[in-house]
Amino acid sequence: MRSNIRPFEGRSPLIAENAWVDDTAVVIGDVTLGAESSIWPLCVVRGDIHRIEIGARTNIQDGSVLHVSHDSQFMPGGAPLIIHDGVTVGHQVVLHGCEIQDHCLVGIGARVLDRAVLKPRTMLGAGALVTPGQVLDGGFLWLGAPARRARALTDRELEYLDYVADNYVRLIARYRDGAKSV
């Protein structure tokens, strides 16, 4: 196991063979990374006190922090972090104990907190804040702090959600090819 991918208290990350984790990203503990997913430079994915599940074809971009909440009297059952398939998480995003469902885009610098849920095909704008327990309906652009529904997504924006995820899958191959040529 690489030094940036490490166990915690007997739980080791499970990373799909065709997934990509940059050497400068740190992945710790009870973390699952699905097929063709990617974690880019300087990300922290810390599944130490609860689990983190990242689905297939999902990208976690540079400098993002992913963490969870433990089971306690203040949060019975804790709050795992569940990210479904085809999700794009922009640069410097904080995801904490929330759920991001299929084909969402979380904009640069956004923050999504414990037990919040982004329904399928949600676009969350840059710098937005999703408060604990808030549920964002899919098919809409959400902006602000706290996040508020701004408008319905256009057909082009809905198409873009899939384009970005597919583009990051292609980028994995380019990075692998570059690593082979060094």
pLDDT digits (tens, 9 = 90+) for 81-131: 999 999 999 999 999 999 999 999 999 999 999 999 999 999 999 999 999
For the chain, the straight-line distance linking the first and the last C-alpha, in angstroms and rounded, comes to 21
Contact 19, 55 (CB under 8 A): no
Q: Say what percent of the chain tops pLDDT 70.
A: 97
The predicted pLDDT at position 4 comes to 96
DSSP H helices, 13-143, are none
Contact 116, 104 (CB under 8 A): no
The predicted pLDDT at position 144 comes to 98
pTM for this entry: 0.96
Q: Hunting for tokens 């990300």 — which residue is that?
A: 43
The DSSP result for 74-91, as a single string, is SSTT-B-EEE-TT-EE-T
Q: Hunting for tokens 């998480």 — which residue is that?
A: 89
Closest CA to 34 of 53, 48, 21: 53
- Rounded to the nearest 5°, which phi and psi values hold at 100? -115, 110
- The CATH number of 5-180 is 2.160.10.10
